[in-house]
Structure 1
Amino acid sequence: MARVPLGWAVVRGDSMRPTLTPGDRLLVRYGASPRAGSVVVARLADGTLAVKRAERRVETRTGDAAWWLLGDNPAGVDSRHRGPVADEDVLGVAVLRVWPRPRTLRGR
């Protein structure tokens, strides 16, 4: 069984409220495959790294697999504004908020 590297991410902005707030520290399994409902770290089309919820896997016009990513706060910027995110740009799955109050992050 291959090991999936663990790392950290820090939430910036309000797009994941109320689930996550700015400054929350997340434990992330980089390279892990998301499921619908997973909280992920992804690279958006403009190069921005973002923490979003993987809503569903979609196929692009070219036939490539991609993810439709949404923030829990409808006022945030996500796939509704930037479009789907390619599989390879979904960098990891957040499994735990470690600070300020530890709790697991599960799909809805």
Structure 2
Amino acid sequence: MQEQLHDRGQEKGREQHGLLRMGLAEVYNPSMQPSLYPGDQLVVRYGVPVRPGDVVVLRHPFRQDLLIVKRAVERRDGGWWVMGDNPDVENDSREFGVVPDELVVARAWVRVRPLPGPGARGQRSMAGLLSWAVSAVRPVRSRSRARGVARAAGVEPTAGAASAERPASRRLRAR
């Protein structure tokens, strides 16, 4: 099952003209569940550094016209080891190996979930819309899940990667 992403931005045009290096992408398949679901929109940032645990948009190594979204697990010789959060979908580095740096297009910054339910948008209550608005827009953060997924695949992340994956609120409480 392919994880497909539709990128609405023009990455090359932005790089050439020095314009704002952000874009909008839509997730189509379930390889990143439970973090991202089909229909989720991603605000992505082009040209920013990638760290272990980040959600990234990349060109599929075997079909470079296909954009996919995965979690960067570990830096290796030749690029990034990437995996989906859904253990049942193996369309990731377990299948195609390390992804060269030049195929990493962007890093996800914010996730926006679509309005739930059928197309009856005129029949939504104000409370329902408010509830959706509070939960629909969230930053896409590094997750410690990347560490667990890496271990399941036989990859041991470095100690520095573990502290980068921990949320700031958790690091602050630990002090």
State the TM bucket, normalised to the shorter chain.
0.7 to 0.9
Higher strand proportion:
1
Q: Name stretches of at least 5 consecutive residues in structure 2 with no aligned partner.
A: 1-17, 115-135, 144-175
> Offset of 1:12 from its aligned partner?
1.2
Moved over 6 A (4+): none
- Could you list the per-position Cα deviations for residues 2-36 of structure 1 after superposition, in whole angstroms to 9, with x for gaps in the alignment? 87600011111110000000010000001212100
In 2, the alpha carbon distance for the partners of 1:78 and 1:4 equals 29
Identity percentage over the alignment?
Answer: 47
> Offset of 1:99 from its aligned partner?
3.1
TM-score normalized by the length of structure 1: 0.88
Q: Name stretches of at least 5 consecutive residues in structure 1 with no aligned partner.
A: 60-64
Tell me, yes or no, if structure 1 residue 95 matches structure 2 residue 95: no
TM-score normalized by the length of structure 2: 0.55
RMSD over aligned Cα, in angstroms? 1.5
With CA pairs under 8 Å and 6+ residues apart, which has the higher RCO, 1 or 2? Answer: 1
In 2, the alpha carbon distance for the partners of 1:78 and 1:90 equals 13
Tell me the secondary structure at the aligned position of residue 18 of structure 1.
coil
The structure 1 residue matched to 2:44, chosen from 22, 25, 28, is 28
Tell me the secondary structure at the aligned position of residue 106 of structure 1.
coil
In 2, the alpha carbon distance for the partners of 1:12 and 1:88 equals 23
